[in-house]
Amino acid sequence: MKATFHGHACFVLERDGKRVIIDPFLTGNPAADIGPDKLPHLDGILLSHGHGDHLGDAVALSQKHQATIVATYELAQFCSDQGATSHGMHIGGAHEFPFGRVKLVPAFHGGRVEGDKTGRYTTNPAGIVVTIGGKSVYHTGDTGLTLEMQLLAGRIDLMLVPIGDNFTMGIEDAVRAVEFVKPKSVIPMHYNTWDLIKADPQEFRRRVGNAAAVTILKPGESYTLS
């Protein structure tokens, strides 16, 4: 599987001709290397929560690529009501899609949906575990450190973890999250997009040490899981 970073918390995962994007915040993202019009064909769009820097271009991309948005039920319903194709799930649930298996796991964060003026779509944030071709990727979403992460110990090939602090875990808690999950590889995310979430990924790498292999990606760069 190849994971390509497109800035902030946006990743494209691809394997065996299937391609999904997670948290497609490209338009208006100062860290993004490409715009939504430059993405190759997508088979799925996975959302951790409905804040604008994660929901991003999801609805437009779903319409353009005929790709299903996978999210918590209320967020999926919001996207559907905006004209997207969506599939609603909830925390602890898993489902097999043509591109792979998706399971939603707990995340501690806010659940308001960007663009919802009524508040009726407010939902739970989630972490996403997606398995494609036998490789499992855990995108934590925006979250604080949670004991529930320990339930994934030893089951994750690649962990995508925020280190920017303020809205999510900072470096100290992100290191503990790696200790909880015990992934084979880790990529830090959700940092340096704005000054408020400025962090040093090299410090994160040093503090993780031998607990996992840390890869630091610039927007546009990829990491391949062997």
Asked whether residue 224 is domain-assigned, the answer is no
Question: Domain residues for 109?
Answer: 2-219
Distance separating alpha carbons of residues 49 and 5, to the nearest angstrom: 18
Q: Indicate if the pLDDT at residue 226 is higher than 90.
A: no
Question: Is 225 inside a domain boundary?
Answer: no
The pTM of this model reads: 0.98
Give per-residue pLDDT as tens, 7-40: 999 999 999 899 999 999 999 999 999 999 999 9
Q: Is the dihedral of CA 42, 36, 137, 1 positive or negative?
A: positive
Is the sign of the CA dihedral 222, 90, 41, 141 positive or negative?
A: negative
Interval 84-108 mean pLDDT: 98
CATH code for the domain in which residue 189 is found: 3.60.15.10
Is residue 226 within 8 Å of residue 196, measured between CB atoms? no
186 within some domain: yes
> In whole angstroms, what is the distance from residue 35 CA to residue 132 CA?
25
Please check whether residue 165 lies inside any domain of the structure: yes
Residue 226 located in a structural domain: no
Q: What's the domain count of the chain? A: 1
Residue 141, domain member (yes or no)? yes
The model's pLDDT over 34-73, given as tens digits with 9 standing for 90+, comes to 999 999 999 999 999 999 999 999 999 999 999 999 999 9
Question: How far lies 56's CA from each of 53, 96, 101, 113, 153, in Å?
Answer: 6, 24, 23, 11, 30
Residue 67 per-residue DSSP state: P
